[in-house]
Structure 1
Amino acid sequence: MIARRAALGACAGVLALPLVADGAAVSADPDPATSLSTPRRDPYYPRVGSPVVDALHYDLDLTWRRAQRRLVGHETLTFRAAQSADTFTLDLGASMTVTAVEVDGVAVDFRRPDHDLIVEQPVVADATHTVTIDYDGPPQPVKAPSVRSDVETVGFHTTRTGRVWAMQEPYGAFTWYAVDDQPADKATYDISITAPAGWKGVSGGVLTGTETGGDGRVTTHWHLGSPTASYLTTIAIGPYRHRTVPGTDTVPRIDIWALAGDIGRLTRTYAKAGEALAWLERRLGPYPFDSLGILTVTGSTSAMETQTMVTIGDTPYATSPDVILHEFSHQWYGDLMTPSVWSDVWMNEGMATYLQAVWSSTQPGGTSTKRTLRDWASYDGQLRAESGAPAAFDRRHFGSSNVYYCAALMWARLRERLGSPLFWRLVREWPRSQAYGNGDYASITAWWSEQSGHDLSDFFRRWLLSTRSPAGS
């Protein structure tokens, strides 16, 4: 997500996965075993997500009834029971009506308190099950735990003309499908979207097929084969059109999806997106997935790093090259390697903000990194006072500027401490060392200490856990 500074102006464990050798591309469509996760109840937002369900694969068959503003869904979820329990729970918006639930082909009872779908079926640890769910209703976004003006609500949004878009950090995927809505649980996806005649549904991953029915309705089929946290999924439905712009040797083309009347303008706007991607690949290594696209939506002024298909609000700032680079950088920091719990969003937002600043300093008319760091240092203390330390922020202030600018300044100071060659090598290696996995404060900080040969525990504690600014030290 992009940063906003309303007051100042815009400006544990880790899932053990094999180390990817530096310079080698990670698999774009990995073995399904990499969807194994260690789900946990997030300490900041415990009302969503469950430690019982380890989702492995979601198959969503969705139909949008524009006139009624209703979504009809048939979902098949394959999951591993992460622990034994008498029931298991998924998150699903309270406005959605569930008509049937089956587990392994047998109809079962269920309950629907608020946005919980409690399935009355015992599960045994490590057993794998398939649950099918039929549901429909008018999806409703939910209030964001944030003071940001650009993310007052999260989840599935419907415009007055019946178009659809979604952004859902830190949660909100549950507004349009039944899900274990927590960052620690990654899964693969197949999503089919049936849209009204003349419209198309867009999601993340690769478009594997398009069908037009006798009534003119169009069904698009999307395959997202890399393990993905629920907040990194996306959906949009409307009169969308598709074009491409040049990418890199790793990703020869970048897909552009925009509304019919905007596709020409936005294709020109994104014409040099491949240059931003190439710059990131020089810093971070080969792009880690098998496709990359930009989905532009009207109705939002923000932007999200939704995996393989970043979702961008149609505003001059959100569609700018700096923001595109910011969201692209999250494909490594945030998507390939994702925080286990939301208190560690500093890891990806701070790094994306720092990379954005370094990139901007290389562009014509860009601000020098030295000046940017001086600006960040000048308001580091104020941001901590307003929203808390980057790794211990006020949970009502999700996505506030402290996790962007305070954490970005930390990464810059770490570069000064370690020296550029070692710093950039570790920046490149960290997300690849836990490809498709998750990390938290303990694992991230321990890895950097071990790999750098320096005890950085006090450095990270001062920068990430203190409400007093260390910027002058």
Structure 2
Amino acid sequence: MRHRLLVPSAAAAAAFLLLAVPASAAEPKPGAPSIGDSYYPDAGNGGYHVSHYDLRLKYQPKTDQLDGTATLTATATQDLSRFDLDFLLDTKEVLVNGKKAAFAKSGVHKLEITPAAALAQGKSFTIVVRYSGVPSQVKVAGFSAWQHTPDGGVAAQEPESAAWWFPSNDHPLDKATYDISVSVPDDVQAISNGVLAAKSSKLGWTRYNWRSTKPQATYLTTLAVGRFDITTDTTANGLPVVNAYSKDLGDNYDSAKASVERSSEVIDWESTVFGPYPFTAVGGYVPNVPTHFALETQTRPFYSPAQFAKGANVSVVVHELAHQWFGDNVSVKDWRDIWLNEGFASYAQWLWSEKENEGTAQQLADYIYSLHPAEDPFWTVKPGDPGADKQFDEAVYDRGPIALQALRNQVGDKVFFEILKGWTSANRYGNASVQDFTRYAEKVSGKPLQELFDTWLFTTAKPSAAEAAKWGIGVPANNTPSAKRGLAASVKPTQPKSWKQIQESHRH
């Protein structure tokens, strides 16, 4: 869902091993400057795990000036002589365990830190980084993940945005909890993740303290400063709901509010489908930005105003809130596992369509299958491993959920929904791969399913009519048990924009 920053490598280091605790080394060694992702070989770092971020920030909307002090609580997973953080702003000072540490910029976005004394494997330590900068002026390959708006700024991008506003171990494998304290002029507000724990004002500045107490990936951490209309509510289970709308949305204001204000309703329904909501707060925000995408920032999704340019769009709210289970609660091990995020969130839209009698998931799967002829490049993208350049391709969003409908047809509704609920529970606050899901679905259903997932997630050609029918896809709607009524050919589920479309939105 965003302009890609890092160049993919065909020979990336083996994923996930860098966070594992190795056997004690004879001498402390540097932590790896990568976590080993197959699509983004420069993303994240090895040698430690961050458990908590405390960010104390001051932001001036007029100049886009950001000053901050980040305190990270971490544990060494090896004997460390030095380690890296992912960061792009100007660093003024670094302390490790209260003592000054040497630091230097390394590569495009690495902050290399050498503590005064080596860090022992298994021991916790603290990192304090004092910094400042103008985030919107910091570009990588001509791009900034920070948007400077007429009344403030917004940090919301995928798969990276943290480096523009706080130092981090920037990969979903290293989740942490957050306290985000932001001081802004009294005439604007600061919106972030989780629960608003405190708010205070003095000398013309107001400080907002936001708290996220459940594990959260760095790219899911967001900040928006601006003039907002803020509404509050509670879910059926009593969770606080906070929604925010820029005062400058113009004609999109009412349609945005008519959509996002249904967040509580959507969460209550999705909880019956996917299991208990995994976090402590709900909401969404719509800032005054020119982009066209939405993003599942944890507990408080980001929506571009363009999502509501044609009227109310509850479907995109369903999509981003479904990500709270699929992507936020259960996160990818590697960015090639993106289907676990987008395929499931798109299928949630199909289930919502089914609930609202606007076309069943079966009809939508049949429609997408018939919409794209065999020669369409749509079928050449593998949703189960699309490649970094195709990570947010239309096929991931549309072909991806067909795999779930095929699974539903194969195992039946009862077992299918047991799989969805059990998956989000068994992997709660963790990370998983496509193959992990395949094995889990086989375990719960008692059926061999590798052929099914190979067909719909890993084949670079359109399955033949006979092959598709084997999994209940592409057959006449009145012959499918889950079909309720016909679907007009013009109906197509709303989805976030593809990577190419997002790229274009950044250029204009």
Q: TM-score, normalised by structure 1?
A: 0.84
Q: Which amino acid aligns with 2:56?
A: D
Q: What is the match of residue 11 of structure 2?
A: none
Confirm whether residue 116 of structure 1 aligns to residue 110 of structure 2.
Answer: yes
Q: How does 1:382-461 map to 2 (within 5 A)?
A: 388-461=381-454
Q: What is the match of residue 84 of structure 1?
A: 79
Tell me, yes or no, if the aligned pair for 2:172 and 2:219 is still in contact at 8 Å. yes
Once the two structures are TM-superposed, the CA of residue 253 in structure 1 deviates from its matched residue by 4.7
- Runs of at least 5 residues in structure 1 that lack an aligned partner in the other structure: 3-11, 15-38, 146-151
Q: What is the match of residue 375 of structure 1?
A: 367
Q: What is the match of residue 238 of structure 1?
A: 226
Query: CA 1:446–1:458 in structure 2 vs 1: closer, same or farther (change >3 Å)?
Result: same
Tell me, yes or no, if the aligned pair for 1:380 and 1:406 is still in contact at 8 Å. no
Q: What is the match of residue 248 of structure 1?
A: 235
Q: Distance in 2 between matches of 1:317 and 1:469?
A: 33
Q: What is the match of residue 339 of structure 2?
A: 346
Q: TM-score, normalised by structure 2?
A: 0.79
Aligned length: 429
Q: Which amino acid aligns with 1:174?
A: A
Q: Distance in 1 between matches of 2:339 and 2:307?
A: 26
Q: Distance in 1 between matches of 2:132 and 2:380?
A: 38
Q: What is the match of residue 281 of structure 2?
A: 291
Q: What is the match of residue 336 of structure 1?
A: 329
Tell me, yes or no, if the aligned pair for 1:52 and 1:81 is still in contact at 8 Å. yes
Tell me, yes or no, if the aligned pair for 1:156 and 1:164 is still in contact at 8 Å. yes
Query: CA 1:76–1:301 in structure 2 vs 1: closer, same or farther (change >3 Å)?
Result: same
Q: Percent identity?
A: 29
Q: What is the match of residue 165 of structure 2?
A: 176
Query: CA 1:126–1:167 in structure 2 vs 1: closer, same or farther (change >3 Å)?
Result: same
CA offsets 1:255-293 (integer angstroms, 9 cap, x no match): 111224569834444343333222212211221211101
Tell me, yes or no, if the aligned pair for 2:90 and 2:133 is still in contact at 8 Å. yes
Q: Distance in 1 between matches of 2:35 and 2:237?
A: 35
Tell me, yes or no, if the aligned pair for 1:383 and 1:401 is still in contact at 8 Å. no
Q: Which amino acid aligns with 1:41?
A: G
Q: What is the match of residue 488 of structure 2?
A: none
Query: CA 1:470–1:52 in structure 2 vs 1: closer, same or farther (change >3 Å)?
Result: farther
Q: What is the match of residue 311 of structure 1?
A: 302
Once the two structures are TM-superposed, the CA of residue 252 in structure 1 deviates from its matched residue by 5.0
Q: Distance in 2 between matches of 1:451 and 1:141?
A: 50
Q: What is the match of residue 157 of structure 1?
A: 147
Deviating more after overlay: 351-360 vs 221-230: 351-360
Q: Distance in 2 between matches of 1:61 and 1:382?
A: 53
Tell me, yes or no, if the aligned pair for 1:210 and 1:221 is still in contact at 8 Å. yes
Query: CA 1:381–1:205 in structure 2 vs 1: closer, same or farther (change >3 Å)?
Result: farther
Once the two structures are TM-superposed, the CA of residue 332 in structure 1 deviates from its matched residue by 0.8
Once the two structures are TM-superposed, the CA of residue 388 in structure 1 deviates from its matched residue by 2.5
Confirm whether residue 190 of structure 1 aligns to residue 179 of structure 2.
Answer: yes
Confirm whether residue 72 of structure 1 aligns to residue 67 of structure 2.
Answer: yes
Tell me, yes or no, if the aligned pair for 2:35 and 2:44 is still in contact at 8 Å. yes
Once the two structures are TM-superposed, the CA of residue 398 in structure 1 deviates from its matched residue by 2.5
Once the two structures are TM-superposed, the CA of residue 194 in structure 1 deviates from its matched residue by 0.8
Q: Give the one of 459, 463, 470 matched to 1:470.
A: 463
Once the two structures are TM-superposed, the CA of residue 399 in structure 1 deviates from its matched residue by 1.2
Query: CA 1:141–1:427 in structure 2 vs 1: closer, same or farther (change >3 Å)?
Result: farther
Q: Which amino acid aligns with 1:120?
A: T
Once the two structures are TM-superposed, the CA of residue 433 in structure 1 deviates from its matched residue by 0.6
Once the two structures are TM-superposed, the CA of residue 381 in structure 1 deviates from its matched residue by 5.6
Classify the secondary structure of the residue corresponding to 2:297: coil
Q: Which amino acid aligns with 1:394?
A: G
CA offsets 1:110-167 (integer angstroms, 9 cap, x no match): 111231100013433322110000010111388899xxxxxx95622112x2521122
Classify the secondary structure of the residue corresponding to 2:145: strand
Q: Distance in 2 between matches of 1:141 and 1:127?
A: 37
Q: Distance in 1 between matches of 2:430 and 2:126?
A: 23
Confirm whether residue 139 of structure 1 aligns to residue 132 of structure 2.
Answer: no
Once the two structures are TM-superposed, the CA of residue 340 in structure 1 deviates from its matched residue by 1.0
Deviating more after overlay: 336-345 vs 285-294: 285-294
Q: Distance in 1 between matches of 2:391 and 2:453?
A: 20
Q: Which amino acid aligns with 2:246?
A: L
Q: Which amino acid aligns with 2:128?
A: T
Deviating more after overlay: 161-170 vs 231-240: 161-170
Q: Give the one of 31, 36, 39 matched to 1:41.
A: 36
Bigger relative contact order, structure 1 or 2, given CA contacts below 8 A and separation 6+? 1
Tell me, yes or no, if the aligned pair for 1:195 and 1:217 is still in contact at 8 Å. yes
Q: Distance in 2 between matches of 1:141 and 1:258?
A: 25
Classify the secondary structure of the residue corresponding to 1:393: coil
Tell me, yes or no, if the aligned pair for 1:171 and 1:181 is still in contact at 8 Å. yes
Q: Distance in 2 between matches of 1:427 and 1:141?
A: 43
Q: Which amino acid aligns with 1:175?
A: W
Q: What is the match of residue 199 of structure 1?
A: 188
CA offsets 1:238-259 (integer angstroms, 9 cap, x no match): 11232124x5322455211122
Q: Which amino acid aligns with 1:48?
A: A
Q: Distance in 2 between matches of 1:403 and 1:370?
A: 17
Q: Distance in 1 between matches of 2:239 and 2:64?
A: 37
Q: What is the match of residue 25 of structure 1?
A: none
Q: What is the match of residue 5 of structure 2?
A: none
Q: What is the match of residue 216 of structure 2?
A: 228
CA offsets 1:158-188 (integer angstroms, 9 cap, x no match): 12x2521122211121111101111111000
Q: Which amino acid aligns with 1:106?
A: K
Q: Distance in 1 between matches of 2:333 and 2:79?
A: 21
Q: Distance in 2 between matches of 1:154 and 1:345?
A: 22
Classify the secondary structure of the residue corresponding to 2:46: coil
Classify the secondary structure of the residue corresponding to 2:172: coil
Q: Which amino acid aligns with 2:424?
A: P
Query: CA 1:449–1:471 in structure 2 vs 1: closer, same or farther (change >3 Å)?
Result: farther
Deviating more after overlay: 101-110 vs 402-411: 402-411
Q: Which amino acid aligns with 1:84?
A: D
Q: What is the match of residue 23 of structure 2?
A: none
Query: CA 1:269–1:416 in structure 2 vs 1: closer, same or farther (change >3 Å)?
Result: closer
Q: Distance in 2 between matches of 1:112 and 1:377?
A: 49
Q: Give the one of 259, 268, 276 matched to 1:278.
A: 268
